[in-house]
Structures are given as C-alpha cells and as structure tokens.
Amino acid sequence: MLAAYELKVSRSFAWIVARMPGASISVIVAVAAMFMSEHYGAPVMLMALLLGMALNFLSQDGTCQAGVDFVARQLLRFGVGLLGLRITLDQFTALGWQPVLMVVVTVALTIGIGVVLARAMGFRASFGVLTGGAVAICGASAALAISAAQPGHPLKEKAALFTVIGVSALSTLAMMLYPLITNSLHMTDEQAGIFIGGTIHDVAQVVGAGYSISDEAGDTATLIKLLRVSLLLPIIAIVAWVSSRQAASQGEANSGEKRAPLLPGFAVAFAVFVVVNSAGWVPDDLVKIGQSASQWCLIAAMAAIGMKTHLKEVLAVGWKPVALMLIETVALALMVYVILQTLAARSI
C-alpha cells in the first residue's frame, strides 16, 4: 500500500516537473503582455499572442512542449470556467426585457450570418460559429472558449489563432470609432451605452469606449456587455451538443473511444460560478481573486497558443477570413442601431 502511494506521488511529481518549463514561459509571456497593455494601451490578448508567436520555437522543444500544450488546453478551460464570476443574475433583471431580447437576437443572428458566409466562402461551418461567436459575445475569450468546445481537426488551432487576431484588431478599431459614431448620430448616453455594449467585442474595449462618453454610458455598456458574456454558456452547450451528434453519426461513439460529455466540464464550472456569484455565497475579495485568476489563465493560454503557431501559417490564410469577420462586425453594429432606432420611435 505504501509502495503504491509512493509510486503515485512520484508520477505526479514527474508530471508537474515535465510541464513546469513550458508553463513558466507561458506565465512570463503573460506578465510581459499585461505590462505592455497597461503601459501602452495595447489589447492584452493580442500582445500575448504576438509575443508567444515570437517564441514559437519553444513549442518544438522537448523541454517546453508538454507545458505549453497543458497551458494552451487545460489552463484555458480553467480560465473560461472562472469567467462565470463576472456575472450575476441581478444584472439581467436590472436591464429589463428589451435589452435582453436585443442581445439574444443579435448574438444568434451574428452567429447565423457567420455560418452562412463561412460556408459560402468555402470554410467549415464551425469556423463561422467561431468567428461569429467571437464577434457577437466577448471577443478573444469567446473564441478560446468556443474553440475548446469544438471537435478537434487539423486546422482548429490555426482558426482560433486567426480569430483572436482579427477580433482583437476589430475591437480596438471599434473602441476608437464607435464613440465618435454615437456622437455624430446624436445618441443619448443610455443609447450610446447600449450601442457600445452591444457591439464592441472585448470587455476591456467596451469599458474604455463607454466611459470615454460618460459614466452613465459606461455603466450601461458594461451591463449590456456582461449580458452578452453570459450567452457564452448556452453557445458552448450547443456547440458541444452538435459536436457530440456529429461524432455519433460518424460512428465514433461505437469505436471504443470514450464519448465526450454533452456539456464540457469548464462550461459546467462556468454555470456553477454564475449561480454561486449570484447567490452571494462567495466574499467579494474572493470573487475579485477569481476574476483576476481567470484573466491570467486566458492570457497565459493565449501566449501558449501563440507559441504553437508559425507566422507563415497565419499569413497563408488569405483575405476571406478578414472579410468574414469584418462583415460580421458591421452586421452586428447595424442590427443594434436599427433596434435602438425602433425602440426610440416607439417611445415617442
């Protein structure tokens, strides 16, 4: 009994040691990316990705490979699960039914547009779900979460990588342009907050753009954005369900392999954290620690994904994915604007 326990401890220690170099490098890159983001205003996910790509040779190194793979897959899922600590059910009830309906409709339509356009451009439907979900929900974080729930295929990591690059660039551009657009269209602060919260991709850019207009616009934009983030859970569940059905139809469920769960573990954790946070069972200080841990896990995972990618592979993608994400972004902005105008007309 003692010998078996010692063997288990020895194997666990060896497992940790094998992953320590790659994981340490990923964390160091994440720290560097956060420093650059805080001091120069650059999107932190994009910085982590680019810095990681500069060190892509490490993913081929036997010393670092296991740790990089672990961070890119397992730590990513852990960070997505902790995203649930950003959300409470009270935030939804405070908004009323109209903004909730607007967000649900625009998210669904944006993903639908992404799927249709992706198929028309010769891509997999899953790529349309990935890009549409990233644009519609919460940018790079959504791209990483949806990619984690999708079935494996040779182009999966490349698709996630390109989506993160594209959505980060478009989100930064939107952060600069959308406050000017809302001003030129003479929107009220509340309308501007709804527009910005309903259209800009990443949470940080939503906060930056919203509060650049006014405190009211910033508060409204943040709530609308958190509502979009909450839709990450049902989208992940649907993606996982479709993946499971596809695997079953292809006979993979009868091939002796373990069938994937209907809902991934990190999605279950996401839901649990939303409930726990809504119930107030966790002290505020602990919630803030969890939110910070989620951010750091996602940044480190993005750095690890960058390490596993070569620049030539990104450049070889071509213009079609860029056009796809740009169309999705414009379509989302137009839909939110039309809904705002319709609601304003009815209130007159």
pLDDT tens by residue, 77-105: 888 788 788 777 776 677 778 888 999 99
Residue 182 confidence (pLDDT) above 80? yes
**For residue 49, is it within any domain?**
no
Residue 10 lies in a domain: no
Distance CA 66, CA 1 (A): 30
Q: Is the pLDDT of residue 250 over 70?
A: no
Q: Is pLDDT above 50 for 212?
A: yes
Residue 128 lies in a domain: yes
Q: Is residue 167 part of a domain?
A: yes
- Mean pLDDT computed over 160-186: 86
For the segment 111-118, the average pLDDT, to the nearest whole number, is 94
Q: How much is the average pLDDT of 170-180?
A: 86
In this prediction, residues 100-128 reach a mean pLDDT of 92
Average pLDDT, integer, range 117-144: 90
pTM: 0.73
Best CA proximity match to 127, nearest among 107, 109, 150, 105 = 150
Query: In this structure, is residue 4 part of a structural domain?
Result: no
Overall number of domains in the chain? 1
Q: Is position 129 within any domain?
A: yes
pLDDT at 222: 80
CA-CA distance, 249 to 238, in Å (whole number)?
Answer: 16
Beta strands in 236-342 (DSSP E): none
pLDDT at 110 over 50: yes
Residues contacting 110, CB < 8 A, separation 6+: 132, 135, 136, 328, 331, 332, 335
Using pLDDT thresholds of 50, 70 and 90, give the confidence band for residue 311: low
Strongest mean pLDDT among 85-99, 163-177, 330-344: 330-344
The whole-number average pLDDT for the span 147-169 is 80
Q: What pLDDT shows up at residue 1?
A: 59
- Identify the residue with better confidence: 246 or 299: 299
Is the residue at 16 inside a domain?
no
Domain that holds residue 144: 87-291+312-347
65 inside domain? no
Percent of the chain with pLDDT over 90: 24
d(CA 165, CA 50): 9
DSSP character for 261? P
For residues 100 and 155, give the distance between their C-alpha atoms in angstroms, rounded to a whole number: 34
